[in-house]
Amino acid sequence: MKRQLLTLACLLSAVTLGAGTASAAGAPHWAQTGTAYTDTLGGGQGLAGRADGSLLYRGLASIPLDLRVKGWNHIGDPDIARGHVFDAYQGADTATSKMFAVTTPAGKRYEYVHQLSPGEKVNNSFATVSPDGQWLVSGEWGEQNRLQVFPAPLLNPSTPPTGGDLKEASQITLDKPVRDIQGCDFVTGTRLLCVSNDATGSLFPQIRPLLQVDLPHRLDGQPVTGKVTSLFALPQRSVCTGTFEAEGVDYDTGSGTLRTQMIPPGVCAVTTAVHSYQQVTD
């Protein structure tokens, strides 16, 4: 993904907002509980929690050689559902398709290719699967007013059992535009949390915000409208100065732990910060 230029004013604003914004008394909010680190090459593009509580990371080094040879040169923020790993792949700017790879608990990988519709961007930033295992949500780069919904490969019986063509089922129309969404994850069947790499502050007051998308009902393959709320600015802390990049997000339903990723600037970019949060009430 191309990083946005960050002005000095934006950087100062990010430092001020990095610890999160204030919540109304008695209202639940996300409190940061810790920070860990992972190598950016192997884990800077996204993460997903396994059933045993361990984390799966994805980075440029995670792309298998045979997929690179096919032209899939970018991997996005992954998800794990029913023990299956869902990866989002994209190719060159001139590509006419994007791909979702699903790896079964037994280690068998199947490839599902989606042919781009008119006006659809080549970007495939993330994959997240609804709690019922039936729908896969993904998104594009730049300023967007939608998220895309596909039948979840393998788990939705309408998809081919061994890979193949994957058609878009519907869309989540957003009531506010968003910019540069790097990852989303379901918290419940009607709520997603999404990481935005927006460094402009033109759509929301925060720089690189964590966004909440609320749906009126669970996904059913039909078009739906999502309400977008900006929760807080993601932390941007480093001894290096320059442009940060927000990346993946994961919510662990078992522990209630939310994790987000931030790549620091300059030579510090070799290591990605993984911030952890728990929802608390004042």
Q: How confident is the model over 182-224, as pLDDT tens digits?
A: 999 999 999 999 999 999 999 999 999 999 999 999 999 999 9
- Which residues lie below 8 Å from residue 101, measured CB to CB, with a gap of 6+? 67, 86, 87, 89, 109, 110, 111, 112
* Mean of the per-residue pLDDT values of the chain: 92
- Cβ atoms of 110 and 153 within 8 Å: the answer is yes
- Cβ atoms of 208 and 244 within 8 Å: the answer is yes
Domain spanning 8-18+26-281, CATH class: mainly beta
15, 46, 104, 114, 174 from 249: Cα distances, Å: 20, 7, 22, 23, 19
**Domain ranges within the chain, ordered by starting residue:** 8-18+26-281
- State the DSSP H helix or E strand holding residue 69, giving kind and residue range, or none if neither: helix 65-69
Q: How confident is the model over 251-261, as pLDDT tens digits?
A: 999 999 999 99
66 alpha-carbon distance from chain centroid: 24
Res 282: pLDDT: 77
Identify the bridge partners of residue 262 per DSSP, sorted by sequence position.
246, 273
Q: How confident is the model over 86-105, as pLDDT tens digits?
A: 999 999 999 999 999 999 99
HSE at residue 16, side-chain half, CA atoms within 13 A, is 9
